[in-house]
A = this chain, B = another copy of it.
Amino acid sequence: MATIFHGLADDPARARSASDIAEHIRRAIASGDLAPNERLVEQDLARDLNTNRSVIRTAFAHLEQQRLLVREPNRGVRVRTYTALEAVEILETRAALEGLVARCAAKRIDGEGERALRGIIGEMRACRDSGDLLAYSQLNTRLHRTVLEIANHETATMLLSSLQSQAVRYQFRTVLQPGRIAQSLGEHEAIVQAIVAHNEDDAERTMRAHIGSVAQTVLAIGGKDLTALKAI
């Protein structure tokens, strides 16, 4: 049997911790090296990754809790399959949670946070003008993370990161079609405007509208080939 981790088993000599292994497997799932429903055998992974079964087992335990793997008793674990329905569910849930976060951010925003948000919006506008989609996508991630920091809502942050880790099962390709960038920027501007104005209702509403818009785009592009939850 060929190794499961083709080129991924780099530096076979180095020992790795359980969380390293878990991250490794997560990437393998994200990149498609591990197919949905594929079975993972503890002994094989231990050999391929130059470690032992205990480490693999604890890594599995973590990934199992993050719903990336499913365990069948006495039969080991499989890569969890995802459905289009589930993609929609994840986006709906993100909308609810990010709405809450935006609301908290609007409540707590201060001068420093306002400067940070306005700075990112400024850079986004530059990207729109230069047409740099990749940079825009990164700014997008940064904007959402900044809102999370301003909100300072540990519980929501944790749940959102859990959703994010499930989203690795989608291929990350940029969803930014021509035209979408302008719409996305407009939505982001509305969100920031509401937050800096301490307008909690508008903050939640615009954030939810934004993620709803992303969902529409994803579904329109994706169909069965669901791509890119990343660029929100």
Q: Is A114 an interface residue (CB 8 A)?
A: no
Interface segment among A34-42, A90-98, A172-180: the answer is A90-98
Interface segment among A8-16, A24-32, A57-65, A119-127: the answer is A57-65
Query: Which one of B57, B92, B154 contacts A100 once the chains associate, using CB atoms below 8 Å?
Result: B92
| Complex A-B: 18 CB contacts under 8 Å | A57-B58, A58-B61, A61-B62, A86-B154, A86-B155, A90-B155, A92-B100, A92-B153, A92-B156, A93-B97, A93-B155, A93-B156, A95-B100, A96-B99, A96-B100, A97-B97, A159-B159, A159-B163
Copies in the complex: 2
Summarize A's interface: helix, strand, loop or mixed.
helix
Smallest CB–CB gap between A209 and chain B, Å? 14
Residues of B within 8 A of A155 (CB): 86, 89-90, 92-93, 163
Q: Is A158 an interface residue (CB 8 A)?
A: yes
Residues of B within 8 A of A158 (CB): 67
Residues of B within 8 A of A90 (CB): 155
A60-81 with Cβ < 8 A to chain B: 61-62, 65-67
Contact flags A180-193 to B (C-beta < 8 A → 1, else 0) = 00000000000000
A150-169 with Cβ < 8 A to chain B: 153-156, 158-159, 162-163
A98 nearest in chain B by CB position? B96
- 4 smallest CB-CB distances across A and B, nearest first, come from A65-B65, A61-B61, A89-B155, A96-B100
User: A61-B61, A61-B62 provided; 10 other pairs, C-beta below 8 A?
Assistant: A62-B65, A67-B158, A86-B154, A89-B153, A90-B155, A92-B100, A93-B156, A96-B97, A96-B156, A159-B163
Residues of B within 8 A of A93 (CB): 97, 100, 153, 155-156, 159
Smallest CB–CB gap between A83 and chain B, Å? 10
Distance A155 CA – B80 CA, assembled complex (angstroms): 14
Smallest CB–CB gap between A98 and chain B, Å? 9
Residues of B within 8 A of A86 (CB): 154-155
Query: Once the chains bind, are A89 and B162 in contact (CB under 8 Å)?
Result: no
